Structure 1
């Protein structure tokens, strides 16, 4: 699609480190199936994308893990995509097609007053394309993944098709239409097992005579204890079909005033299945009951290998009115709304062969949940000579957002139908209102100071848990206020060198889920805490950047000291799995991040880019669990790096290779899960990706590639994909 010059939606005076990728860089360097793939090689970032089509692709940053979703803010053209309605509710990446991304910017830390308190981690701004004439494109992508886990080998295939059509008319009206369809199947995500005791002995399951079986696999778990694995469970293999449709319209009311908006719809149909390893003496599949391999005796509950299905339909709308003066005052007002139109997960209570014919189960409905946002901003851009004491670029504004959760669990006579009596209901709402101001003051030719202040008022209300036949708990309304000052000082030592020191406070309030979503759904139990304290971050960064004619170098020293970290601890070693939400008194992260790029390396057409971060994240205080004090924080690796080489000798073709590394991490905050390179742990990642891009015609692109070429088996509790073949065709007009 032909586009105007790339729209950068960021304030040019942001007092924070920014890492960026353009559309051209992404197409040249990476195999991209889903939008979040564009972030996987960014400095100090982890993307918990377990498989293509994963709706829970969470973000991890310098000082926070991939299960601390509320510390990652994601925007699309200034509209909020961050979804804080569930522990694993990742940003709504599905509202973006990879084909329409024109730029991705990543901001680090709470140093700008322009963003909500959730920016104490990472802020991601995705900018999509806008047509400058009648244009369009079609893109088709396919993947083939080879999976090998516990001796079970298989291939899982995915494909995606996208179409864009847009035009800008002489009247000042422009439009863009986007359609995206994908069909994807995951490798097995979860496995059912039993742990031995410290002596390596399994508890003997009591009951009727045990069925002799083969197929039990023994290994050593994350805690160094022997365990038995019986098969892939909890809907381990997910076949998902997703569709997105989006229409974006804009109109230039005058040369200085414009309006634009969009409406988007996304649907997902997921059908899961499980895979038992067990066979009886006649070779028949065994799904449950008391079993023995002649050495140990185990009891497998009837619900262990129960499948589930999920149907979701979401919608989002946004509208922005803004002025476009080159200097002086500008204003903008932007509103957005995201709604879960319907969302039902149907859970069977028996294993796959029986479940196919129906039977009792449960259904979880989240219809009507959603979030809204409002931003009103005024900016002043100086003209040389204005404001005699120096140049001031001023921004101030108002922000508001609210998140509403409605979740009902039904007991169903036939799990395939989401109808029955209510067993549980949880709900609640949070609201945040903020005023902010920021002044970028160029007080001397080579010096700039940025002062910012954000005042936020938060409240939680309407919290309720209702259990049919039991009690109803109505939670009291709560409210808090927070002041978050920011300060940054930068010095342009010369035309090519900049030094900057930044300090910022930020407050991340508890989400409606963390406060109120205490549930038992399927194979998971969540224990919430309506009295959670807010996270309060004090962050520092010292950075130095040197720019050259052929590239640049940057070094950043950072510290993030957070009081009352909100932590959701998942225990996979019990069945059903249990998650507890709590505050951790104080966690401090210190690190060094290096980034460099060179546009010509040795020969014409050869370029390189690399980043590496060394991080130590420690628990300094935790009255709720003393054994964790002094331990490493969960899922923050000590070393993260990505290095990319690109050889593009002409405009017609290029080849790239990326090596991505992340050291092993702990999942448990007491660091007892020391055996990291196994299922259920958070392992090291050491992967090589390659891509060949061909442009046989000006309007055509062909690409083939391999992700995880070295077939590194890695885990973030769940297994990451194995070696994956990638093929892409794109036609634009």
Structure 2
């Protein structure tokens, strides 16, 4: 924390000095792009990076800001923005969840991501399975990214409680070919694993403008080997228990156990890990844009083919002959541990997805315009296969278990009208309607051949649908030069239907499906925002909003059971009920802005998933349940400084620091129902919500061809559990704080060829986000434009 405080002091001192010493220089730079950044056009609305908007506090990234970032995939571009965390465990991770403000990284249904109007957020599942489908858009095609914080706009549903990420891509204005060749490498060492892990990315795109028709094609391939994602341990068994004594009477003597602790600080003995995870992703993209008069249309088709293979698990223990052992009961120095048969098993994921989106917009009259967005996302295949034993285990006979998604995806349809000078000058009126339909079906079954994934009998089945229909309206009124007002509301009708889950009848061999009753709810969410300009270059804005976040299919219906875990859903969950406030004070600078946001939000019936944390040697599967916390109160302050030309015209800086206190203020419903068994969690910190978070990006434009950049990410420790008992740090399963430093340099070798080199986690800091964060990572990139 001391290092971060020093950074804040230096930044604010430089702000003051720069404003006085370089006032005339900065006046010339105001609202200008750096000279070597080409201006691009976007499919949507191009925004000024200093714009604050009518309702939501916002942050905007343009291509000039992105030069400081070592970006391999799209989610990298937003990871330094205020009050954001991206849980990206490695390059190529399919579980890059997004947390915004008071919504933690596993509250994925409280954030939204759009690319050219097409939803990338995944409102079928939550936690690690609910990560946005970032790979449906490539970092190389992005022109700008805007983040809206909170649900203060009537245009977005309650899934915007955390915020909305709006990605806009570039429109080809001429024939252009772009090629990226990237190489990355990571040093990683933890427990019994130590290796250098490498990866590659190849991106090719072609764009052209043929009269009124714009065409764009791209192909992106990413291959990467990750560090192990899980490290397995057991705790010493109870030596005085007669059953345990009998169980370990024939335990095999071994060596190689690594002594450490678990997240609760208890002694733990690590016996293996999941090994290198090989991730391969192929993405194909087609965009067709057409202009006809005052109207334009964009067809957007993206296809993803992903494979993740984990078939080289590691066992740390050996017998007297030096042979590695993979399952059974073992003893070392009077310690007794167990490795269940499937714990060091292999796994493979095959996933194919197709996203189609159509945006149409244009002017009906001089003062009225219309926009429609249609989207369809289909999971063509999502099949995970796991072996019953480690592949090296002599007991392995080829069997396994398969998890398969069938008839899963979503469709959305939205129409919006925008009227300027509505009734009188200075009033903008926005109204529209939106419909969304989601379906998820999940089957888990045994397989005689784990790689083929044949169905040898179900272990669980579940699924269902949710629909939501909404109408919204918002008035933005410039009352005078000093005052503006926004009033809005959103009415939503939500329905869950066709829900089912499986249940084994203990008296028969039947495998039954239980149908669940359909449910529906209606909610209205009012919005209010008032802006005041007390003096030139100052702005004060207060925003207030209600928001309801309805449960997603997984939370309601998914009941699954596999080798290591059981998931129990809750069809009776109520929608999360949020009341949100934000007070923004902003000072426009000659080239940038200084902004403070003070925010508070109260979420009632907050939906949270918790998993029983068991030693990896437990033969009992962990249980994940969805439940409601009666009330969570979050209060926070953000300090944001974005400045072009700090001290000298060549230095650009983006800095933000956030303090967020998220506390469970009421859990009386659950605790009243279970007074003898439930320990009160009222007053506890909400999981995965660090008190302090900060980011810094600085770029020095040494010449017209050469950029030098540095960045910093900081967060302090948080908890992963509602009971706040996971206090240990730098162990598998922990929610660690971190201070990560990065550097990058880019150089234009020719007018068409650019080379860049960068390092993330420069100090090779070891930290965990339940799974290990990446170690020191190197990036080398060549980019060619024709």
TM range (shorter): over 0.9
**Structure 2 vs 1, CA of residues 82 and 103 (structure 1 numbering), >3 Å: closer, same or farther?**
same
Which residue is equivalent to 1:444?
480
**Structure 2 vs 1, CA of residues 10 and 453 (structure 1 numbering), >3 Å: closer, same or farther?**
farther
Aligned pairs for 1:475-554 within 5 A: 475-554=516-595
**Structure 2 vs 1, CA of residues 358 and 699 (structure 1 numbering), >3 Å: closer, same or farther?**
farther
* CA contact 1:2–1:132 (8 Å) conserved in 2: no
Which residue is equivalent to 2:308?
270
Give 3-state SS (helix, strand or coil) of 2:64's partner: helix
Which residue is equivalent to 1:418?
453
**Structure 2 vs 1, CA of residues 204 and 197 (structure 1 numbering), >3 Å: closer, same or farther?**
same
User: Residues 591-645 of structure 1, C-alpha deviation per residue, up to 9 Å, x if partnerless?
Assistant: 1100002222333412222100011100011132552111000001100001122
Q: Note the C-alpha offset of 1:25.
A: 1.5
**Structure 2 vs 1, CA of residues 532 and 163 (structure 1 numbering), >3 Å: closer, same or farther?**
same
**Structure 2 vs 1, CA of residues 451 and 204 (structure 1 numbering), >3 Å: closer, same or farther?**
farther
Q: Note the C-alpha offset of 1:678.
A: 1.9
**Structure 2 vs 1, CA of residues 257 and 601 (structure 1 numbering), >3 Å: closer, same or farther?**
closer
Report the Cα distance in structure 2 between the residues aligned to 1:293 and 1:525, rounded to whole angstroms: 31
Unmatched 5+ stretches in structure 1: none
Deviates more, 1:428-437 or 1:205-214: 205-214
Alignment partner of 1:106 out of 121, 133, 147 = 147
Q: TM-score, normalised by structure 2?
A: 0.89
Q: Note the C-alpha offset of 1:410.
A: 1.9
Which residue is equivalent to 2:670?
624
**Structure 2 vs 1, CA of residues 19 and 522 (structure 1 numbering), >3 Å: closer, same or farther?**
farther
Which residue is equivalent to 1:343?
382
* CA contact 2:766–2:775 (8 Å) conserved in 1: yes
Which residue is equivalent to 1:569?
610
Q: Note the C-alpha offset of 1:200.
A: 14
Give 3-state SS (helix, strand or coil) of 1:51's partner: coil
* CA contact 2:102–2:601 (8 Å) conserved in 1: yes
Report the Cα distance in structure 2 between the residues aligned to 1:470 and 1:695, rounded to whole angstroms: 64
Alignment partner of 1:21 out of 36, 44, 61 = 61
Which residue is equivalent to 1:722?
775
User: Residues 35-70 of structure 1, C-alpha deviation per residue, up to 9 Å, x if partnerless?
Assistant: 101111000000000011110100112112111110
Report the Cα distance in structure 2 between the residues aligned to 1:215 and 1:291, rounded to whole angstroms: 11
User: Residues 213-244 of structure 1, C-alpha deviation per residue, up to 9 Å, x if partnerless?
Assistant: 111011122212111111114xx532111100
Q: TM-score, normalised by structure 1?
A: 0.95
Report the Cα distance in structure 2 between the residues aligned to 1:595 and 1:205, rounded to whole angstroms: 63
Aligned pairs for 1:44-63 within 5 A: 44-63=83-102
Which residue is equivalent to 2:358?
319
Q: Does residue 181 of the first structure (1) align with residue 234 of the second (2)?
A: no
Report the Cα distance in structure 2 between the residues aligned to 1:563 and 1:346, rounded to whole angstroms: 38
Q: Note the C-alpha offset of 1:282.
A: 1.5
Which residue is equivalent to 1:473?
514
User: Residues 254-312 of structure 1, C-alpha deviation per residue, up to 9 Å, x if partnerless?
Assistant: 2x112221211100112113111111112111111111112201121111101111111
Report the Cα distance in structure 2 between the residues aligned to 1:411 and 1:323, rounded to whole angstroms: 53
* CA contact 2:325–2:393 (8 Å) conserved in 1: no
User: Residues 137-172 of structure 1, C-alpha deviation per residue, up to 9 Å, x if partnerless?
Assistant: 0001111000010142101111111111111112x0
User: Residues 435-485 of structure 1, C-alpha deviation per residue, up to 9 Å, x if partnerless?
Assistant: 000000111222110001000000000001124634321110000011000
Q: Note the C-alpha offset of 1:2.
A: 7.8
* CA contact 1:506–1:536 (8 Å) conserved in 2: yes
Q: Does residue 70 of the first structure (1) align with residue 109 of the second (2)?
A: yes
Report the Cα distance in structure 1 between the residues aligned to 2:403 and 2:502, rounded to whole angstroms: 14
Aligned pairs for 1:643-682 within 5 A: 643-682=696-735
Which residue is equivalent to 2:30?
none
Which residue is equivalent to 2:695?
642
User: Residues 115-139 of structure 1, C-alpha deviation per residue, up to 9 Å, x if partnerless?
Assistant: 1110011211111111011112000
Alignment partner of 1:592 out of 633, 637, 650 = 637
Alignment partner of 1:163 out of 189, 201, 204 = 204
Which residue is equivalent to 1:453?
489
Work out the number of aligned pairs and report it.
724
Give 3-state SS (helix, strand or coil) of 1:408's partner: strand
Which residue is equivalent to 1:405?
440
User: Residues 378-432 of structure 1, C-alpha deviation per residue, up to 9 Å, x if partnerless?
Assistant: 00123xxx744x4111110001111100111222111111222333221100000
* CA contact 2:527–2:546 (8 Å) conserved in 1: yes
Report the Cα distance in structure 1 between the residues aligned to 2:747 and 2:572, rounded to whole angstroms: 56
Q: Note the C-alpha offset of 1:341.
A: 0.6
* CA contact 1:205–1:290 (8 Å) conserved in 2: no
Which residue is equivalent to 2:34?
none
Give 3-state SS (helix, strand or coil) of 2:479's partner: strand
Q: Note the C-alpha offset of 1:198.
A: 12
Which residue is equivalent to 1:711?
764
Which residue is equivalent to 2:260?
219
Alignment partner of 2:284 out of 226, 245, 266 = 245
Alignment partner of 1:307 out of 316, 330, 346 = 346
User: Residues 308-353 of structure 1, C-alpha deviation per residue, up to 9 Å, x if partnerless?
Assistant: 1111111011112211479510011111000001111111111121
Report the Cα distance in structure 2 between the residues aligned to 1:298 and 1:646, rounded to whole angstroms: 52
Give 3-state SS (helix, strand or coil) of 2:104's partner: coil
* CA contact 1:55–1:89 (8 Å) conserved in 2: no
Which residue is equivalent to 1:134?
175
User: Residues 645-672 of structure 1, C-alpha deviation per residue, up to 9 Å, x if partnerless?
Assistant: 2111222101111111000001111111
* CA contact 1:64–1:635 (8 Å) conserved in 2: no
Q: Note the C-alpha offset of 1:192.
A: 1.4
RMSD, aligned α-carbons: 2.2
Which residue is equivalent to 2:469?
433
Deviates more, 1:642-651 or 1:132-141: 642-651
Give 3-state SS (helix, strand or coil) of 2:98's partner: strand
Aligned pairs for 1:187-226 within 5 A: 187-195=227-235, 206-226=247-267
* CA contact 1:198–1:225 (8 Å) conserved in 2: no
Which residue is equivalent to 1:732?
785
* CA contact 2:237–2:335 (8 Å) conserved in 1: no
Report the Cα distance in structure 2 between the residues aligned to 1:153 and 1:640, rounded to whole angstroms: 30
**Structure 2 vs 1, CA of residues 470 and 367 (structure 1 numbering), >3 Å: closer, same or farther?**
closer
Report the Cα distance in structure 2 between the residues aligned to 1:102 and 1:356, rounded to whole angstroms: 54
* CA contact 2:288–2:298 (8 Å) conserved in 1: yes
* CA contact 1:571–1:578 (8 Å) conserved in 2: yes
Which residue is equivalent to 1:582?
627
Deviates more, 1:78-87 or 1:64-73: 78-87
Q: Note the C-alpha offset of 1:697.
A: 1.7
Which residue is equivalent to 1:381?
420
* CA contact 1:334–1:376 (8 Å) conserved in 2: yes
Report the Cα distance in structure 2 between the residues aligned to 1:537 and 1:601, rounded to whole angstroms: 39
* CA contact 1:196–1:225 (8 Å) conserved in 2: no
Deviates more, 1:126-135 or 1:199-208: 199-208
Q: Note the C-alpha offset of 1:205.
A: 7.8
